[in-house]
Structure 1
């Protein structure tokens, strides 16, 4: 009996030991990686909105300034614009997986240039990039796109000029009216960057209808400012420009050429938004390579038809790694088209343009 009690006690101790020292305790769940924040400085002619995550609406307003913090997911891939999609049963943004606007801070004009100048002073070479969005774009979407662009290009600081686009496919006519209305505000920003910042290298990038602001604004600067002011502008990049191609050849390109600023144009034959614009206006657009690629002196034209760009094929600069990598070579390395490995030259009756190597 004494032996039985001893064996039972030993068994109990053994079992108790297994319970405490056997299988390892479950690990604490890992905290979700925090997004990387990109500072997007902005100047906008939109009316402020009280609606959550909208920030600014589609109505006109006086120019106002601030900074938006854009969260880039820790697992972000270059040339991929991560956003909720119904294909993955996602309806709301998740900052662990999607590019999001985390917050915005309103600045006075003086505070805007104070903080922007501090950022320019920290940048290698005193650089700044100005971005103008296109048609059918809300403020938050424009901030997210520029946040991604800044992250992928490793470029800082960046400034968004956001004009009052309706953010709607059916708002095209109103957008055309508002982009004309915004010309003086964009020119005010350009003059402010010249007069109130120490930036040595200024880069101007526009998409779609936003390139109209750049075309007008830069040619106005050419007539109003000195050569010493203009030499600070290193590159003008027009992505999918929604500008009449004949007007671009006859008027826009020669005027831009007189600024002596390097100009790059990206066009695609797969851009359905510009095809719709061509049908609406009755004439081809400069960013549509389907009917006569725009090849003119003073402009390096890149045929990006190989690229993918979302449902409409219009946003390829944020959706295709090849375009983003080419922009990096252009804007960060200063390489011209003939020196960029991804590009192959093509000669035709109008001159030389470039396509992406397959």
Structure 2
């Protein structure tokens, strides 16, 4: 069981490095360093240790809000997260989380995002809302969000929604319940972001974060308030660690023509293979046969033939240079995944990728 849970974990928690720079070599002094601001909404309780910022305990209700800046070293390779093994981090080689700032109210968080939007050109005013997966502590979630935003070339503003994962391999059940516990807060956060001056919102969820995201969308749809702002441009569900039979039921409140969800799957995802065994042999959405999944009305992007820098093939959406940049290009187009790709966009899709439409027929098929 320990080996299985280790395999399906979504991150290797780094050292607690929030706000800890290298006093002998500050990140701002290192030539070629890039800086990525990440806004945070979280259901985690505030921690006493400033190097943790928020703990793994659940806030009973409502979310906490903050912002950090992540420095990315000049030698960074697309598709990787260079985590520090020791403290203080070395900004020449490591990602470093700097300058944490808390917002005491949702209104102040909204104001901060609006200020950031106002400082951007009109074609770079979308928000990406990223929802992480199982076994992911806050530093790891921040680093993944920064890496994905940076490597994808997304020109808008990244917002991390961090639910109260323990960040420990033996806390699968706690994490599962923490994800479900955060449904209301994810809905509130999405509505808060939609109320800003952002021109659009792109949602990207990974692994167990998909269970939270889909449940929140379903709840909002049943209440008749899903995407009332019409600002959601794309919903990318990467490697969903979700029971395939449950997924079919979760989609029922959505009319088939409104299931504009993009599901990234891979039948060589080793983490989901282990998860399937733990779940009694029920397929996970992330390794469900693409043609069967597409019959539900979603668009399936099959990444089986795409290489991953991870040996588990569970994070291709962020670890594969081809895929992370493809997602970024589509989000930056403005109409994103909701429109058929242009001829120019087709030329940028890797030849190993197969895309199936909601009718279960291949609209882009490569050998």
Q: Where do 1:112-151 residues align within 5 Å? A: 112-121=109-118, 122-125=120-123, 126-151=125-150
Higher relative contact order (CA 8 A, sep 6+): 2
Which of 20, 45, 48 matches 2:46?
48
1:9 is matched with: none
Pick closer, same or farther for the CA change 1:257–1:311 going to 2, 3 Å: farther
Which deviates more from structure 2 when the two are superposed, residues 118-127 or residues 165-174? Answer: 118-127
**Is residue 99 of structure 1 aligned with residue 95 of structure 2?**
yes
- Alpha-carbon separation, structure 2, partners of 1:213 and 1:227: 15
Indicate conservation of the 8 Å contact 2:30/2:91, yes or no.
Answer: no
Helix, strand or coil at the partner of 2:91? coil
Q: Where do 1:201-212 residues align within 5 Å? A: 201-212=200-211
Helix, strand or coil at the partner of 1:159? strand
- Alpha-carbon separation, structure 2, partners of 1:49 and 1:146: 21
**Is residue 351 of structure 1 aligned with residue 360 of structure 2?**
yes
Helix, strand or coil at the partner of 1:169? coil
Instruction: Give ranges in structure 1 of 5+ residues lacking alignment.
Output: 1-30, 85-89
Indicate conservation of the 8 Å contact 2:130/2:204, yes or no.
Answer: yes
Indicate conservation of the 8 Å contact 2:79/2:309, yes or no.
Answer: no
Pick closer, same or farther for the CA change 1:74–1:309 going to 2, 3 Å: closer
User: How many matched pairs?
Assistant: 321
After TM superposition, give the deviation of residue 356 of structure 1 in Å: 8.7
Q: Where do 1:312-323 residues align within 5 Å? A: 312-323=312-323
CA deviations on 1:103-159 (whole Å, 9 max, x unpaired) are 311112222111101222325343111110000101111111111111122322111
Pick closer, same or farther for the CA change 1:319–1:345 going to 2, 3 Å: closer
Relative to its length, the structure with more helix (as a share) is: 1
- Alpha-carbon separation, structure 2, partners of 1:215 and 1:123: 32
Pick closer, same or farther for the CA change 1:191–1:76 going to 2, 3 Å: same
Pick closer, same or farther for the CA change 1:345–1:271 going to 2, 3 Å: closer
With the length of structure 2 as denominator, give the TM-score of the two structures: 0.78
Indicate conservation of the 8 Å contact 2:43/2:162, yes or no.
Answer: yes
Q: Where do 1:11-30 residues align within 5 Å? A: none
Which of 55, 58, 64 matches 1:57?
55
After TM superposition, give the deviation of residue 229 of structure 1 in Å: 2.1
1:189 is matched with: 189
Helix, strand or coil at the partner of 1:294? helix
After TM superposition, give the deviation of residue 315 of structure 1 in Å: 2.1
Pick closer, same or farther for the CA change 1:104–1:353 going to 2, 3 Å: farther
Q: Where do 1:1-358 residues align within 5 Å? A: 32-33=30-31, 35-51=33-49, 53-61=51-59, 62=61, 63-84=63-84, 91=86, 93-108=89-104, 109-121=106-118, 122-125=120-123, 126-155=125-154, 156-194=156-194, 196-225=195-224, 229-248=228-247, 250-257=248-255, 260=258, 262-282=260-280, 283-289=282-288, 294-305=293-304, 306-333=306-333, 334=336, 336=340, 340=346, 341-343=349-351, 344-345=353-354, 351-353=360-362
Indicate conservation of the 8 Å contact 1:42/1:159, yes or no.
Answer: yes
After TM superposition, give the deviation of residue 259 of structure 1 in Å: 7.9
Which deviates more from structure 2 when the two are superposed, residues 133-142 or residues 104-113? Answer: 104-113
Indicate conservation of the 8 Å contact 2:355/2:365, yes or no.
Answer: no
After TM superposition, give the deviation of residue 258 of structure 1 in Å: 5.4
Pick closer, same or farther for the CA change 1:223–1:299 going to 2, 3 Å: same
CA deviations on 1:179-199 (whole Å, 9 max, x unpaired) are 1111111111122223x3122
Indicate conservation of the 8 Å contact 2:41/2:66, yes or no.
Answer: yes
Give the aligned CA root-mean-square deviation in angstroms: 2.9
Helix, strand or coil at the partner of 1:331? helix
